Chains A and B, each alone.
Chain A
Amino acid sequence: MEYLVLAVNAVLVKNILLAQYLGNCPFMGVSKKTDTAAGMGMAVIFVMTFATFITWFVHYYILVVFNIEYLQTIVFILVIAALVQLIEMFLKKSVPALYRSLGIFLPLITTNCAILGVAVIVISKDFSFMQSIMFALFSGIGFALALIIFAGIRERFEISHIPDAFKDMAIALVTAGIIAMSFYGFKGLDSSLKSILIK
């Protein structure tokens, strides 16, 4: 039940893209078509969960043990970069079908701040191992959801009349603002759900 609250919180209330502002570069970059957005979303869910899995162990069993937590940033980004490369090679060899649909997004993911962001957040919030994995998984789902909704709206721009100054990025940002506002409507949902579950 605890995980249900965590899920609602990570997907809807504190959506990683719209409320925590993480991972906005790919949000603006790969959201012109729904299928590419879906591909990127899947790749992010996959890598985010896997990366958090590894960095959690690295933090508690290497950095804490040797008392070098201040190297967190540098170690995490290296682990993530190496992991992305490894996943890419593994997929290319063993699951070519999946590689063809996710492959082009994988190199972009290394510099997606949402991945490093989630890895750092779970450490700073002292989440347990299970909580961390769940948080990463649901954050990834929240990212994919927001990205796909946004791409769906952006596809419509092609047939609508937009003032010249607003073309491309400016209108995209205003649209993102309006989506963020609608996600704002979920505020408080997690705490009311919690109180219902406790009763």
Chain B
Amino acid sequence: MKKSILQEFFKGFWEVLPPFRLVLGLCPILAVTTLAENGIGMGFATTFVLVFSNIIIASLKNFIPKKVRIASYIVIIATFVVIVELVMKAYFFAISQKLGIFIPLIVVNCIILGRAEAFASKNNIIRSAADGLGIGLGFTMSLFLISSIREILGNGTIFGVGIMWESFEPFGFMVQAPGAFVCLGMILALINLVPKNQ
């Protein structure tokens, strides 16, 4: 049975929620989630690229020869990444400095190429856009979840505002590299506790 457009949109929030259900795109998840602000910035940048590359790939799917499809997808994705890079440098300079190298690396985020190959190359434009938007917002949500946990525990702040009690000692481990891996592993285990077909 084919899913409705709304179902395609909402599946990104739980059923195939990246990176927990689809374990892809780990690098940005681990690297930029030290502050909630960075997490959200990265999430929206990825969503933009995901939606537009899905739309373009879905509309060109009949013209792209099978043999060079991966290369063509990469060129399309890279084009949108360059757009995001330039827009962020122009209007959100502070956050683009913090995300640094991870903005160009959206090109090789496996979620985007994965959706292009698994979804956009087989479905029409509207469904692909819904899929891209849903997965992108799900990804943003996950980034926000992880980055807020890490920021609250590691710095005692959220969006730079202190929220913990006065004697709270920041748990520096969480904002370092090992904390990222352990935190993501713990959340993954918690989500695994919930049965899959609900």
Contacts and interface: CB of A to CB of B under 8 A. Distances in A.
Contact of B181 (A71, A78, A116, A177): A177
Interface stretch (B39-47, B155-163, B183-191): B183-191
B23 A77 contact: no
B95 interface: no
B7 interface: no
Interface string A152-183: 00000000000111110111111011101100
Place the interface of chain A in its size category. Answer: 35 or more
A169 B104 contact: no
Nearest to B19: A169
A87 to B, nearest CB: 15
B188 A173 contact: yes
A81 B105 contact: no
A25 B185 contact: no
A6 B25 CA distance: 28
B27 A22 contact: yes
Chain A interface secondary structure, helix, strand, loop or mixed?
A: helix
Given A112-B108, A165-B193, A73 B181 contact: no
Interface residues of B, number: 41
A21 B178 contact: no
Nearest to B78: A74
Contacts of A77: 74, 78, 107-108
A137 B24 CA distance: 26
Interface in A90-133: 110-113, 116-117, 120-121, 124
7 contacts: A21-B26, A21-B27, A25-B25, A70-B85, A177-B185, A181-B178, A184-B177
Pairs of residues from A and B, 9 with the lowest C-beta to C-beta distance, nearest first: A173-B185, A177-B181, A177-B182, A174-B185, A21-B31, A24-B26, A170-B189, A181-B178, A74-B78
Given A21-B30, A21-B177, A166-B185, 8 more contacts: A18-B177, A21-B180, A25-B27, A74-B78, A110-B70, A116-B107, A166-B192, A173-B182
Interface of A: 18-25, 27-28, 70-74, 76-78, 81, 110-113, 116-117, 120-121, 124, 163-167, 169-174, 176-178, 180-181, 184
